[in-house]
Amino acid sequence: MKKTLMAGALLAALASVGAYADDAPAANASSNPADNGGWTGSGEFGFASSYGNSRSENANAKLGLSQENDLWKNNFYLNGLRSKGEVEVQDQYGNTVDRLATTANRYDSGASVGYKLDPRSYVVTAARYEHDDFGANLWQGIISVGYGYIALKTESTELSFEAGPGYKRYRPADVSQEVDNPDGTTGTVKVPQNTQSEVVGRGLINYKYRLTSNTALEDTLLMEAGSKNKYYQNDIGVSVSMTRKMALKLGYQVRYNSDVQPGTDSTDTLLTTNLVYNF
């Protein structure tokens, strides 16, 4: 509940900033994509740390490239997340102490290449790979082919869909198992799980809406559904341009896996506030 209220408050704050700064130039107004084959890009970075009564370090970074012209609709991205926080551990003497330890370590990369059949429809090939030390799956990779359709495209709004079959391989997170030590005590070890593979159906819905000349909303829903596991990821973000190239962005991500190991949550959420550089 607190995370939801915080996300709502930050979204409202960004929207208010955009309303007052409506006369600022749009972030992508510095160059015409048509001049370089339809290519545009952006990089994001966010960092926060606290020391004293509590200690934590959080960093996330994103890089995205996209191209759209008369023949192609392509996208490439690379994301990273790393976080450290205080956790309770037992030292060699059996005392419980607080130590700064890694609590999140994830990176993922993906690409889609679309060849346009006409101004609205296209054939698309997509690939995605993700590694997550603390997620439902240690790693997962998918490659797919499908059909894409641009349902709506105006100066302020864009809505597109993609759907098709794919092949996915993934390794579920390790399972903790108690074992008996030689000295008669018990301990815990991580047991690796077997790699899984299955045919999945991939779907993607991407919606963009420009609220004002310098404030934009984007929401992307990814679905990868198979007989063993169903994976859904939704990314929503509001960006407010400060200059032609710089912007502030608030993002909220929800990730869901239907099949998880005991002791692992099926849903992960991530709230970010980043500085964005558009090029």
Distance CA 256, CA 251 (A): 17
d(CA 234, CA 109): 16
8 Å CB contact between 238 and 219: no
Lowest mean pLDDT across 23-27, 32-36, 99-103, 174-178: 23-27
- Which stretch of 124-133, 153-162, 172-181 has the lowest confidence by average pLDDT? 172-181
Range of the domain at 178: 2-278
| Coil/strand/helix, residue 144 | strand
**H helices of the chain, where?**
2-20
Average pLDDT over residues 252-266: 91
How many alpha carbons fall within 13 Å on the CB side of residue 134?
A: 13
Q: What is the residue-averaged pLDDT of the chain?
A: 86
Q: Is the pLDDT reported for residue 167 higher than 60?
A: yes
The domain spanning residue 150 has which CATH number? 2.40.160.40
Nearest to 193 by CA among 263, 104, 261, 265: 261
* pLDDT over 70 (residue 7): no
> Pick from 127, 94, 123, 122: which is nearest to 112 by CA?
127
* pLDDT for 52: 77
pLDDT in tens, 89-104: 666 666 777 778 888 9
Q: Which residue has the higher pLDDT, 264 or 185?
A: 264
Name residues whose C-beta falls within 8 Å of residue 50's C-beta, 6 or more positions apart in sequence: 56
The widest CA-to-CA distance across the chain, in whole angstroms, is 72
How many domains are there within the chain? 1
Strand extents, DSSP E, the chain: 39-50, 56-68, 72-90, 96-116, 121-132, 137-153, 157-172, 175-180, 186-191, 196-210, 215-225, 230-241, 246-257, 267-278
Q: How confident is the model at residue 223 (pLDDT cuts 50, 70, 90)?
A: very high
pTM over 0.85: no
The mean pLDDT value for 42-51 works out to 91
- Four-CA torsion 50, 56, 57, 62, nearest 10 degrees: -110
Please give the Cα distance from 135 to 229 (Å, whole number).
14
Helix (H, G, I), strand (E, B) or coil at 15: helix
Per-residue pLDDT at 36 exceeds 80: no
The tokens describing 110, both together, are 């993906």
| Helices (H), ranges, 21-162 | none
Q: Which of 143, 161, 141, 142 is nearest to 73 (CA)?
A: 161
Residues 171-221 pLDDT 10s:
999 887 777 777 666 767 888 999 999 999 999 999 999 999 999 999 999
The pLDDT value recorded for residue 60 is 96
What span, in angstroms and rounded, lies between the C-alpha atoms of 236 and 233?
10
Q: Is the pLDDT of residue 26 over 60?
A: no
**What is the pLDDT confidence band of residue 4, given thresholds at 50, 70 and 90?**
very low
Q: Among 20-24, 35-39, 91-95, 190-194, whose mean pLDDT is lowest? A: 20-24
Under 8 Å between Cβ of 28 and 16 = no
